[in-house]
Amino acid sequence: MNLDVVLEEVLPHPPEEVWRALTDPEAISEWLMPTDDFEASVGARFRMKTQRLAADGWVRAEIVELRPPRRMVWAWSVDTVRPPTTLTFELAPEGDHTRLRLTHKGEIDPSAGALIQDGWPGRIEEMRRVLEHA
């Protein structure tokens, strides 16, 4: 399956707060998936615990680009068969708010791809909730 997710949301928080939600392991664990080894640096590899996306229970990722607090790109793997997909977070200020653009692209197992495609809107809503309670 060719995964092609593009979401744009305006969040009622400044870019620095949204960036923190994208780069703090505790925040990531709340809105996306549990992780305990995330580090915001290019080349950093980390895992996130999943119940449904990967056969072995882990999504593996690596930060391939980082331009704080505006852009971060992950290589995202749910299996060892296909090359990783590309997940990009881009932030742009809009007054007191932040426009978040999320793109997730690449070839992926169809069942995992369907879960990812359907799941991103809910994950963004979870991020919104985490930001409200920060």
Q: What gap in Å lies between CA 61 and CA 77, rounded to an integer?
A: 6
Task: Find the helix or strand (DSSP H, E) in which 88 lies.
Answer: strand 85-94
Which architecture does CATH list for 2-132? 2-Layer Sandwich (3.30)
Instruction: Tell me the per-residue pLDDT of 8-28, one tens digit each, with 9 for 90 and over.
Output: 999 999 999 999 999 999 999
State in Å, rounded, how far the first CA of the chain is from the last one. Answer: 37
Phi, psi for residue 42 in degrees, rounded to 5: -60, 135
Q: What gap in Å lies between CA 7 and CA 19, rounded to an integer?
A: 16
Domain ranges of the chain: 2-132
Model-level pTM? 0.96
**pLDDT in the model for residue 81:** 86
